[in-house]
Structure 1
């Protein structure tokens, strides 16, 4: 009887402990945790639309690793993103024969699906004739401004003489009507064209006889009034003939022209003149170089000096000059505040053989690259190589370097283009035993020159006269004419920094006759314009194609 109260005491203690949270059923018991208080993070889809896709092969990437092949007009990445996650969509690979740009492609997920990324793919359209004259037309040149306006100029025979003609392209409207832009009754030839600034104003220059001498003349175009009613004389020196002007713009209202003059086939000079918006051409031209060519082959005199400018008033002129033994490449630099440097600088291998066909291009920071062909003078294995030299505002010219290493045959007629970041592409013609082919090499400031590569694969006939242009994203288009066994056609190839060169495609019209001498230029939006002349079975026409 005395032992009965013990169970009651034990029960009381147990209830007390339970009330105080003791035992296994309190806050430390995870077996009853409510998992709905930490739900999984919500995710959203990432996508957009594609415009202009006409060929297969488009591949997009998000954040550099999530890859998506696109074949239609819209896309959605397979991998969703969490709220607050960043995205950056890029074109990993463009479609064949196309280039693509992105819009609205970077951002942060903000609690909803993203479907407004835009991919714009550009392609070659149908070419068209852009002149309406009766006589044969040759030697077209083209320039574009930042808004996509283009002007083409060329020389055309009217039954009596050659005159300078022009036509203008306006986005949304197309090509206008061709018209003559020079005055006088003597033959004019070798036109060049460039835009002055972002207002749409442009200047064309050419060589023209006055009955006694060949002179350099110019005309000005403005969007409101068109071409001036008469051309003006750019140089005033009547001692000898002036030939082959070249022209460039610094983007700040200045135009610089350069040409060469021969006096009695004994003395050659390189001359220049400057145009300023508001005041016109300077009263007198300036001689950059003068040299004796009486002991050299006058047919090899320094035709076509070249000139280039950046957007900050820096200018470089280069030319081929005979020193009594061989032909060299010389250069002079200029700024509008300090004038032209003196003396001219030798920029090529002084111990090698003849150097010829120089070209020059600037990037957006005052850096420039010159390219040319040069006889390597290496005993029995004599051939022309492609050489290059770089210029920086702080260091001046560097040391020339060979940028191709194929010893099968001569290489020549190089062209060079730079984007705003200093990346460059050079193209040239090279004999590889059977045909002339088109080769290219790329340059970056970080790594220098890469290895030259073949950018056309058609062995039916020779490929010649390459030209190159780059846009602001480092994309490039090369054009050239190539024989297919029956005619010369116009071919083009596209380049992207990530994928390199595509395969070449034909961009000209029909098979009536040869298509020759293409030129190409980009606008700031990534559209390009190509022009050339083409035989239609009756005469040579000027034709154009748009890459847009």
Structure 2
């Protein structure tokens, strides 16, 4: 081989090596890009070691977990634990809402501390969102206590056999730290008075009853209290009481750590008629709205007053209705964001309709009332419920006689027009008159409606339907009462923070009229079998239950029952 040929051969080899080098560089760059992309997508390379997943406490599937549990994650290193933030580590209820609480990180542990004990017999989900990947979670179920406590008398037991001291109209509200207040009216030996008693969880004891109504020379009989509590534990009571010869609306407030305030008069003293039937609701900031009915010399109208928490005062009474016909049965609902809606029935007898009005601003005027019920249909006895998003649901009795049915409508958040009314019908043989609607909304916007409806023979059963926020529809009604007994009626509802719902009612049977209750389990979406709360050994006439639920999901029921001499006020709890 001559020198030129050798040079050409060497050049070809060098060119081949150079081309292979360039090709190798391109492959290396492509591999680097794919590796980086794979790592960005969370796909581990062949040589990568995946990060260890944190351990969940309680373990997944744990049962009978104490309601005071502080769920936590244990990470591989303290540095990993520091990646836990409130937005990435959350405790959720069965309805998907986030449990309020604090996140604490110490060493390898990230611990969630709930603001209140968890609801009993409820499945919670501890959810960890690692590096914005698909969240991992663990579920546990809190301890179950399905038996209500034995009923106890909470009015003055020393007068239990005095026939002239009947106690009636029991109501209940849950305050701060699990405290519950019950109120009722009872003759004190001189006149009817508003009595209250408080339950303290630490002592498991109801306080001796005391009066809170107006004590003055011009004040006389007081009657039919109503209660509402705000998230800070302040409880407001309203009632009507004779002052200077006619009924006035009065109110007193209980703030945690303080005593009841001196009663404040809410109605306009210049309005000539008797003010009655007060209803109230409180928002998340502690503002309270009270509505009532009162004749003004021309017709019976609906009035309202508001207590502004920031200003510490009640606004003057304002008329809400705009028609010349009589208006009765006011209702009010307040959303946590402060949205206030009032409703009532109004119109000539036999042609009543349901009207509603919306408060424009906390200190502003009320909007012009709108008709909520269907045209040409008689509508009475409205009830309202507001959810956490400002959506308000109304229900009422529509029709007359045997054709009475339960109708509903919704006022969506930000809207000023109500949806077209929808009729809910009980299944099976119960196609006769429907009465006594009750509503409650949970923190996720689901609404429960309960009512009583008769069969052709006049036997009333109790039904409940649920409006599911996820589907925007009412589901099929479920029967709640004991089918082996006689008629049931007067349902009352409460919902806890986890979405569990309790319904109480009275029902007739071989042992007389007794108080019963059933619980909707948000974890299983099922109603329990009814449980009897009153004790038939001591009464054959227990009626008109009221319910309260505290931040931990403990439910208190109060009612009145006859003991052979007079009506007593009784209480039972589902802790």
TM superposition score category, shorter chain reference: 0.7 to 0.9
Aligned to 1:234: 266
Contact 1:52–1:122 (CA under 8 A) maintained in structure 2: no
Q: Is the 8 A contact 2:93 2:498 kept in 1?
A: no
Q: Distance in 1 between matches of 2:439 and 2:138?
A: 40
What residue is the counterpart of 2:571 in the other structure? 544
* CA gap 1:147/1:261 in 2 versus in 1, 3 angstroms: same
Runs (5+) with no aligned partner, structure 1: 1-40, 54-85, 93-97, 294-300
- Structure 2 residue 261 is matched with structure 1 residue 204: no
Q: Give the structure 2 partner of residue 417 of structure 1.
A: 440
- Specify the alignment match of 1:392 in structure 2: 412
Cα distance in 1, alignment partners of residues 556 and 62 from structure 2: 28
Pick aligned residue for 1:501 from 519, 523, 527? 527
Residue of 134, 159, 178 corresponding to 1:148? 178
Q: 1:455 to 1:280 in 2, by over 3 A?
A: same
CA separation in 1, counterparts of 2:285 and 2:92?
35
Give the deviation of 1:246 after TM superposition: 0.4
SS of residue in 2 equivalent to 1:147: helix
Q: How far apart are the structure 1 equivalents of 2:182 and 2:465?
A: 28
Of 271, 285, 301, the residue aligned with 2:317 is 285
Match of 1:535 among 536, 557, 562: 562
Deviations 1:327-349 (A, max 9, x none): 00000011435734431011111
Is 2:77 the counterpart of 1:50? no
- Select 1:119's aligned residue among 129, 137, 142: 142
Question: Tell me, what secondary structure is at the counterpart of 1:237?
Answer: coil
TM-score (norm 1): 0.76
Map residues 430-449 of structure 1 onto 2, 5 A cutoff: 430-434=453-457, 435-445=459-469, 446-449=471-474
Cα distance change on mapping 1:287 and 1:522 into 2, 3 Å? same
CA distance in 2, matches of 1:246, 1:463: 25
Q: How does 1:285-304 map to 2 (within 5 A)?
A: 285-293=317-325, 302-304=327-329
Which of 422, 431, 434 lines up with 1:401 in the alignment? 422
The partner residue of 1:331 within 347, 353, 356 is 356
User: Contact conserved, 1:234 with 1:281, CA < 8 A, in 2?
Assistant: no
Return the match for 1:138 from 168, 171, 178: 168
Aligned counterparts of 2:320 and 2:287: Cα–Cα separation in 1: 18
For 1:89 and 1:324, the matched residues in 2 are separated by 49
- Give the 5 Å matches for 1:40-439: 48=62, 50=64, 100-102=121-123, 105=126, 119-123=142-146, 124-132=148-156, 134=159, 135-145=165-175, 147-174=177-204, 175-184=206-215, 185-198=219-232, 200-228=233-261, 230-238=262-270, 239-264=272-297, 266-277=298-309, 279-293=311-325, 302-322=327-347, 326-337=351-362, 339-352=364-377, 354-375=378-399, 383-396=403-416, 397-406=418-427, 408-434=431-457, 435-439=459-463
Partner Cα separation in structure 1 for residue 494 and residue 187 of structure 2: 29
- Equivalents in 1 of 2:62, 2:476: separation in Å? 37
* SS of alignment partner, residue 284 of structure 2: coil
Matched length: 453
Give the number of the structure whose residues are more often strand, by fraction.
1
Aligned mates of 1:168, 1:89 — CA distance in 2: 31
1:52 Cα deviation after fit? 8.1
The answer for unaligned runs of 5 or more in structure 2 is 1-51, 68-88, 96-118, 131-136, 160-164
Q: Please report how far the alpha carbon of residue 458 of structure 1 lies from its aligned counterpart in structure 2 after TM superposition.
A: 3.1
Q: Cα distance, 1:283 vs. partner? A: 4.9
1:434-453 deviation line (CA, Å, top 9, x unaligned): 31111111101224111122
Q: Is the 8 A contact 1:320 1:329 kept in 2?
A: yes
How far has the Cα of 1:225 moved from its partner?
A: 2.6
How far, CA to CA, are the matches of 2:514 and 2:527 in structure 1?
20
Q: CA separation of 1:269/1:146 partners in 2, compared to 1, >3 Å: closer, same or farther? A: same
Give the Cα separation in 2 of the matches to 1:383 and 1:538. 39
Which residue, 536, 541, 544 being the options, matches 1:517? 544
State the Cα deviation string for residues 489-509 of structure 1 (Å, max 9, x = none). Answer: 000011124332121110113
2:15 aligned residue: none
Distance in 2 separating the partners of 1:509 and 1:382: 34
| 1:246/1:305 contact within 8 Å kept | yes
In structure 2, do the counterparts of structure 1 residues 308 and 447 end up closer, same or farther at CA, with 3 Å as the change threshold? Answer: closer
Q: 1:337, 1:327 → 2: CA distance?
A: 29
1-structure distance, mates of 2:536, 2:242:
36
Per the alignment, residue 511 of structure 2 pairs with: 486
The alpha-carbon deviation at position 197 of structure 1 amounts to 4.2
The 1:186/1:324 distance shift into structure 2, 3 A limit, reads closer
